[in-house]
Amino acid sequence: MFGLSVRWSLKDAPQDGAQKLRDYVVQTSLTRFSGMDGLHMKTWRMMEGDWFEGTYVFATREDRDHFLAGFMPGEATAPGSLMIGSAPIAYEPFEVVAIAEGGSGFVSGAGPGLA
């Protein structure tokens, strides 16, 4: 499996940027990535006021590289970039050695208080 993280800085984002990102992920982005060919999973992570990140796990290196090649040319106009007011500050491709499902099981969907 092959991972990719795409990170934006929230240091200069609008004050309501974090909530706009939460709303967008739950209302739009979650559906877009659910069931996407070649994608095992995507996680949206945020440290409010610091950074926002999409973390992807793809089935193959080719799936990851194809996604990245399609994303980068429009990075400045991606919905997250428009809400934050800037393009991503970092792309990090990586190898996923393994994924374990814990005893609580895997749950997809909105996080705490966002359902």
Q: Assess if residue 114 is contained within a domain.
A: no
E strands along the chain, which residues? 2-9, 39-47, 51-58, 90-95
Q: Tell me, what CATH number does 88's domain have?
A: 3.30.70.100
For residue 96, count other CB atoms closer than 10 A to its CB.
15
pLDDT category of residue 52 using cuts at 50, 70 and 90:
very high
Average pLDDT over residues 31-35: 92
Reported as a single tens digit per residue, the pLDDT across 53-111 is 999 999 999 999 999 999 999 999 999 999 999 999 999 999 999 999 898 888 777 77
Look at phi and psi of residue 110 and say left if phi exceeds 0, alpha if psi is from -120 to 50, else beta.
Answer: beta
Q: Assess if residue 37 is contained within a domain.
A: yes
Dist CA 15 CA 99 (whole Å) = 35
pLDDT at 113 over 70: no
Q: Assess if residue 89 is contained within a domain.
A: yes
| Structure tokens that stand for 14 in this block | 């609008």
Give φ, ψ of 23 to 5 degrees.
-60, -45
Name the domain count of the chain: 1
The confidence score (pLDDT) of residue 108 equals 78
Q: Assess if residue 100 is contained within a domain.
A: no
Reported as a single tens digit per residue, the pLDDT across 13-32 is 999 999 999 999 999 999 99
Residue-number span of the structural domain to which 61 is assigned: 2-95
35 vs 4, 18, 39, 98, 108, CA distance in Å?
Answer: 17, 25, 8, 20, 12
Q: Assess if residue 15 is contained within a domain.
A: yes
Q: Assess if residue 105 is contained within a domain.
A: no
The confidence score (pLDDT) of residue 112 equals 67
The confidence score (pLDDT) of residue 107 equals 78
Q: Assess if residue 80 is contained within a domain.
A: yes
The confidence score (pLDDT) of residue 104 equals 87
